[in-house]
């Protein structure tokens, strides 16, 4: 991935991830944005050259021309022969066309050739479209994430 592609990925990712953090973990938008920035900076201390991270531009060929249609970020673990997908994103105009499944199959082929035997990921509970793509491609639910905001009642007070 070239530097300008990486910077475009980070620009998209931080805002998108902050939105997911705010929704999933019930944080304010400002706190979620701060957390997203910190986690992204920690994951990529050396930008696109950061060791242990793989960020790819997802492309397709259309009318003989290569189109950038999204991003894929994963972290390989050579000891466990697995990868963890941190982000898989198709631009909105390319969703619902089967391109997500094609990209996932292409990734699987690439990883098998490299000796990996498992893909792991987390999907937001309210992201039905992503969950459908993953389940259609053979992924299974392995757990449920939960959180609690301390100092805030999560149950309405009972009326006496």
Average pLDDT over residues 86-99: 94
77, β-bridge pairs: 82
pLDDT tens sequence across 55-73:
999 999 988 999 999 999 9
Residue 158 pLDDT level (bands cut at 50, 70, 90) = very low
Residue spans per domain, the chain: 1-51, 53-147
Are 61 and 35 within 8 A, CB to CB?
no
The closest alpha carbon to 54, from 42, 43, 70, 69, belongs to 43
pLDDT tens sequence across 110-141:
999 999 999 999 988 778 888 888 999 999 99
Q: What is the pLDDT of residue 153?
A: 64
Q: What is the pLDDT of residue 11?
A: 96
53-147 CATH: 3.40.630.30
Structure tokens, 67: 């189109």
């Amino acid at each position: 991935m070239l530097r300008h592609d990486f910077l475009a990925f980070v620009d998209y990712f931080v805002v998108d991830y902050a939105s997911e953090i705010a929704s999933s973990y019930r944080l304010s938008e400002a706190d979620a944005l701060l957390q997203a920035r910190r986690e992204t900076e920690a994951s990529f201390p050396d930008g696109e050259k950061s060791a242990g991270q793989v960020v790819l531009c997802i492309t397709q060929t259309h009318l003989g021309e290569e189109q950038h249609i999204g991003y894929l970020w994963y972290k390989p673990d050579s000891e466990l022969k697995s990868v963890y997908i941190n982000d898989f994103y198709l631009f909105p105009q390319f969703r619902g066309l089967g391109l997500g499944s094609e990209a996932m199959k292409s990734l699987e082929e690439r990883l098998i050739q490299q000796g990996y035997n498992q893909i792991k990921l987390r999907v937001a509970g309210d992201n039905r479209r992503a969950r459908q793509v993953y389940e259609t491609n053979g992924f299974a639910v392995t757990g449920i994430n939960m959180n609690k905001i301390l100092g805030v009642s999560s149950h309405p007070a009972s009326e006496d």
